[in-house]
């Protein structure tokens, strides 16, 4: 049971103080009530343009994008479609659907200005790359210069305006992307409260809602996944510390990738555990994820050019079945994944995860998260709000006005803060180094024993290992569940809930991993679009 706990403890599934299955089932029998936004989405800068946006134009873009990708969109823009119209299409959908879905915290008031600038450049014969004129949103722990705010979902930072864009945002702008707005998230990357449907809750924006139904959303990159799945953006940037990008991507039926450590700059991202933190792409297709990663990474790699539909042919894959099928219902999903892999020509080998001895010696992973709050997150917050110097200060601040500052409670922060209270900064750094080395040795041992080039998991079940080791991982839609999985284990509905196969690669082999994911996607075509009213 302790092994299962370690495998599932993530910032998306923070069940260190989870309610009982019976309590959760009763709580989520109907869609839980939401809380008011602390800042309403402001459509004022777009009202006149939206008023004249033609329904037939919206319908044409909808037909193009429902099953389309960034290359599809670029072809249409070469033929005369404007970035302004595409941006208006997304803004109209946000206005229609996001009061319920809560995938956005804020819109970029300059979005149309940026789109029109992209159109002028295109008209002058200058296209900056495959992201030129493409609307993108950003998880709101990624800094953007004013007028937008960077809140990490916390009331404490409601009026925080970063002095400059994060490094990855500067790269996206240089690639011609249009910044559509800031996406909701589990507050401070998932260390405040779980919420009624596992993740996706913040004081600033309320609870993100899975567009596939009254189902868990996951976090902390909930808004990135929901907005992408619901076609409220073309692509999104999320962040991962331990499962916090792959869980919501898989549970909302989209592609999500955590790149190798260092591939995307962490400059300007609100930290949780700097050793683990990594920004990554969220998209509806693997090719879009590849294009977005190329636009924001620190390397000159054309990931999309390397995608091959036959990339899995003859490749040995390690199936991490024993630790995946421990949860009822996961076996069915892995059987489905195995059938696709076999059809794609992969050679499957059984793979069992055996911890390196130093993993347990390093200390509990939950204590590591708690120490990240104390020694990475809070010192960053203190540079913005000097009265907050400890997790206990943050708890006290929120408790002073609980309805607005902690509307979903703070059970996770209470638990994790207590686990790190006796630790020192030096002990935390040592623990991080030991865990990273042990996680890498654990994964390397599986690769070596099986001869595998890639490991196959489900959703975010092995995130504590690949995220801590800094290895790349990507999730690709695997269709809808008939039941089971983590949600069912804690008393929530899971029938009709998306799931995703997760491929774990070797460090630095991000391009190869994307190609494997593309081959799986092309052989399966299992993404299911949500049916919105």
Q: pLDDT tier at 29 (50, 70, 90 boundaries)?
A: low
Least confident of 26-40, 226-240, 312-326, 496-510: 26-40
How does pLDDT run across 246-277, given as a tens digit for each residue? 999 999 999 999 999 999 999 999 999 999 99
Question: N- to C-terminal Cα distance for the chain?
Answer: 41
Share in percent of the chain as helix, strand, coil (round to 5): 45, 15, 45
Residue 5 in this model has a pLDDT that exceeds 80: no
* Cα–Cα distance measured from residue 326 to residue 473, given in angstroms and rounded to the nearest whole number: 21
pLDDT at residue 368 tops 50: yes
Return d(Cα 453, Cα 351) in angstroms, integer: 12
pLDDT grade for 28, boundaries at 50, 70 and 90: very low
Average pLDDT over residues 96-109: 98
Computed from CA positions of residues 386, 384, 376, 207, in that sequence, does the dihedral angle turn out positive or negative? positive
Whole-model pTM: value is 0.96
DSSP 197: T
Helix (H, G, I), strand (E, B) or coil at 132: coil
Question: What is the pLDDT, as a whole number, of residue 14?
Answer: 38
Bridge pairing between strands 178-183 and 135-139: parallel
User: At residue 324, does pLDDT exceed 80?
Assistant: yes
Mean pLDDT of the chain: 94
Pick the closest to residue 27 from 207, 177, 191, 150 (CA basis). Answer: 207
CA 276/CA 14 separation, integer angstroms: 16
Distance (Å, whole) CA 492 – CA 198: 9
pLDDT exceeds 90 at position 356: yes
The CATH class that applies to domain 2-356+438-524 reads alpha beta
Average pLDDT over residues 334-347: 98
Distance of CA 517 to the CA centre of its chain: 17
**pLDDT value of residue 168:** 98
> How is residue 111 written in tokens?
């979005």
More confident residue, 469 or 2: 469
Taking CA atoms, 291 is separated from 174, 287, 400, in Å, by: 14, 6, 45
Instruction: Provide CB contacts within 8 A for 71, sequence distance 6+.
Output: 130, 287, 291, 304
Residue 31 banded pLDDT, cuts 50, 70, 90: confident
Please tell me the distance from the alpha carbon of residue 154 to that of residue 405, in angstroms, as a whole number. Answer: 7
What's the pLDDT tens digit per position in 120-168?
999 999 999 999 999 999 999 999 999 999 999 999 999 999 999 999 9
Q: Mapping DSSP to helix (H, G, I), strand (E, B) and coil, where does residue 485 land?
A: helix
Q: Which residue has the higher pLDDT, 288 or 15?
A: 288
Tokens coding 408:
């979903």
**The token pair that represents 119 in the structure block:** 């159109």
- Pairing verdict, β 206-207 and 104-107: unpaired
* Element holding 235 (H helix, E strand): strand 235-240
Query: Averaged over 515-527, what is the pLDDT?
Result: 98
Q: What pLDDT is attached to residue 2?
A: 33
**Strand, helix or coil for residue 54:** coil
Q: Tell me the C-alpha distance between 220 and 237, whole Å.
A: 12
Mean pLDDT (whole number) for 503-515:
98
d(CA 179, CA 480): 31
- Sheet-wide strand order for 454-458: 104-107, 178-183, 135-139, 235-240, 278-283, 255-258, 473-480, 498-504, 454-458, 316-319, 347-350
Give the mean model confidence (pLDDT) for residues 276-283: 98
CA dist 373 and 71 (Å) reads 40
Q: Which residues contact 483 (CB under 8 A, 6 or more apart)?
A: 328, 329, 494, 495
What pLDDT, on the 0 to 100 scale, is given for residue 339?
98
Q: What angle do CA 35, 36, 41 make, to 5 degrees?
A: 135
Dmax over Cα atoms in the chain, in whole Å? Answer: 64
Percent of the chain whose predicted confidence (pLDDT) is above 70: 95
For every residue of 246-309, DSSP letters joined together read HHHHHHTT-EEEEPPTTSS--TTB--S-TTT-EEEEEESSHHHHHHHHHHHSSS---TGGG--T
Active-site residues, by number, are 139, 220, 244
Q: What is the predicted pLDDT for the residue at 408?
A: 97
Give the start-to-end residue ranges of the domains of the chain. 2-356+438-524
Q: How far is CA 483 from CA 32, 222, 330, 363, in A?
A: 20, 21, 9, 34
The position carrying tokens 């569940």 is 481
- The answer to whether residue 21 scores a pLDDT higher than 80 is no
């Amino acid at each position: 049971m302790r092994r299962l706990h370690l495998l599932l403890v993530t910032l998306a599934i923070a069940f260190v103080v989870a309610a009982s299955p019976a309590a959760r089932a009763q709580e989520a029998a109907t869609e839980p009530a939401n809380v008011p936004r602390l800042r309403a989405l402001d459509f004022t800068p777009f009202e006149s343009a939206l008023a004249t946006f033609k329904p037939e134009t919206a319908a044409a873009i909808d037909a193009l994008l429902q099953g389309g990708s960034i290359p599809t969109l670029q072809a249409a823009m070469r033929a005369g479609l404007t970035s302004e119209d595409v941006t208006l299409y997304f803004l109209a959908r946000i206005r229609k659907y996001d009061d319920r879905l809560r995938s956005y915290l804020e819109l970029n008031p300059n979005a149309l200005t940026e789109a029109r600038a992209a159109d002028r450049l295109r008209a002058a014969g200058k296209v900056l790359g495959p992201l030129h004129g493409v609307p993108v949103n950003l998880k709101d722990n990624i800094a953007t210069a004013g007028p937008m705010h960077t809140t990490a979902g916390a009331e404490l930072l409601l009026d925080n305006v970063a002095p400059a864009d994060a490094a990855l945002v500067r790269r996206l702008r240089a690639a011609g992307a249009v910044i559509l707005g800031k996406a909701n998230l589990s507050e401070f990357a998932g260390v405040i409260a779980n919420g009624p449907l596992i993740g996706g809750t913040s004081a600033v924006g309320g609870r993100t809602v899975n567009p596939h139904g009254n189902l868990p959303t996951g976090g902390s990159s909930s808004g990135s996944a929901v907005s992408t799945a619901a076609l409220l953006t073309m692509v999104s940037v999320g962040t991962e510390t331990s499962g916090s990008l792959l869980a919501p991507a898989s549970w909302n039926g989209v592609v999500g990738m955590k790149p190798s450590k260092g591939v995307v700059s962490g400059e300007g991202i609100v930290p949780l555990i700097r050793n683990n933190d990594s920004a990554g792409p969220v998209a509806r297709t693997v090719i879009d994820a590849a294009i977005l990663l190329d636009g924001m990474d620190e390397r000159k790699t054309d990931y999309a050019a390397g995608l091959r539909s036959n990339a899995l042919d003859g490749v040995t894959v390690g199936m991490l079945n024993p630790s995946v099928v421990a949860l009822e219902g996961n076996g069915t999903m892995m059987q489905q994944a195995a059938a696709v892999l076999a059809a794609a020509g992969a050679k499957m080998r059984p793979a069992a995860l055996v911890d390196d001895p130093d993993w347990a010696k390093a200390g509990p992973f939950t204590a590591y998260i708690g120490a990240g709050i104390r020694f990475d997150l809070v010192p960053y917050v203190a540079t913005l709000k000097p009265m907050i110097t400890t997790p206990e200060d943050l708890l006290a601040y929120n408790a002073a006005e609980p309805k607005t500052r902690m509307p979903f409670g703070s059970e996770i922060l209470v638990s994790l803060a207590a686990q790190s209270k006796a630790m020192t900064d030096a002990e935390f750094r040592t623990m991080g180094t030991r865990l990273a080395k042990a996680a890498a040795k654990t994964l390397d041992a599986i690769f070596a024993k099986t001869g595998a080039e890639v490991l196959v998991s489900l959703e975010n079940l092995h995130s504590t290992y690949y995220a801590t080791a800094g290895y790349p991982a990507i999730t690709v839609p695997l269709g809808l569940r008939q039941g089971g999985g983590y949600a069912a284990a804690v008393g929530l509905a899971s029938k009709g809930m998306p799931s995703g196969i997760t491929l774990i690669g070797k460090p630095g082999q991000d391009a190869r991993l994307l190609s494997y994911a593309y081959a799986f996607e092309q052989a399966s075509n299992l993404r299911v679009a949500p049916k919105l009213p």
